[in-house]
Amino acid sequence: MAFWKQNNNQPTRQFRFRLSIDGTTYWWAKSAELPSATVNSNEYQIGNHKFNYPGVVTWNPVQIEVADVAGTSDNSNDSVGLLVNIFESKGYNIIGEPAGPGTVIGGLERLQFNEIRIEQLKSDGSAQNSWILKNAFFTQINFGRGDYNSEEINSITFTINYDYAELE
């Protein structure tokens, strides 16, 4: 029987999700990729036969897009200011200082997040699935673009790399 004929089942909707980084929920998140993994394949030849065997699991980077939300006049609670503060709290100097490996302060533990959680939500707002990215850290940030031909909200995208993900 198809799931849509059962009145007690509901499909997971893409627009029902919540992003939290180190315990802070980012309500202006526009999209968040869920974790994905790739298993490489090794090919071996024995005589005239080729055999494929599974290899190592690699977790793929996650890309997150947030709306560029303006905050107060001191930029303390706008999305750009908060993301810059996250970068700087992790030891990266990206504004006003030369950036690079020599400027990272605090070692590997400081660069990684305590917890990045992407939750898929039910219609009542409770969590259906919670993905927790382990040993996650930023690898890329893009503060958007200016475009005279568009009236859309500016988007900030960032990429997060991680060792593995847990489904809770």
What are the tens digits of pLDDT across the range 6-37? 777 777 888 999 999 888 888 888 999 999 99
Average pLDDT, the chain: 82
Indicate whether 168 pLDDT > 60.
yes
Residue 34 or 71, more confident: 34
> What tokens does 19 get?
């992003």
> What tokens does 77 get?
């609670």
Specify whether the CB–CB gap between 84 and 95 falls below 8 A. yes
Give the HSE-up count for residue 103: Cα atoms under 13 Å, Cβ half-sphere.
Answer: 12
Q: What is the bridge-based pairing of β-strands 137-142 and 155-161? A: antiparallel
CA nearest 165: which of 61, 87, 67, 17? 61
Least confident of 30-34, 42-46, 102-106, 112-116: 102-106
Length of the chain in residues, anyone? 168
Indicate whether 112 pLDDT > 60.
yes
User: 17 to each of 26, 99, 126, how far by Cα in Å?
Assistant: 11, 33, 10
For the CA atoms of 71, 77, 80, 81, the dihedral, rounded to the nearest 10 degrees, stands at 120
- Give mean pLDDT, residues 38-63: 93
pTM metric for this prediction:
0.77
pLDDT band at 82; cut points 50, 70, 90: confident
User: 45 to each of 40, 52, 55, 56, 65, how far by Cα in Å?
Assistant: 17, 9, 16, 19, 44
CA 100 from centroid of its chain's CA atoms: 22
Indicate whether 138 pLDDT > 90.
no
Indicate whether 78 pLDDT > 90.
no
- Which pLDDT does position 14 carry in this prediction? 87
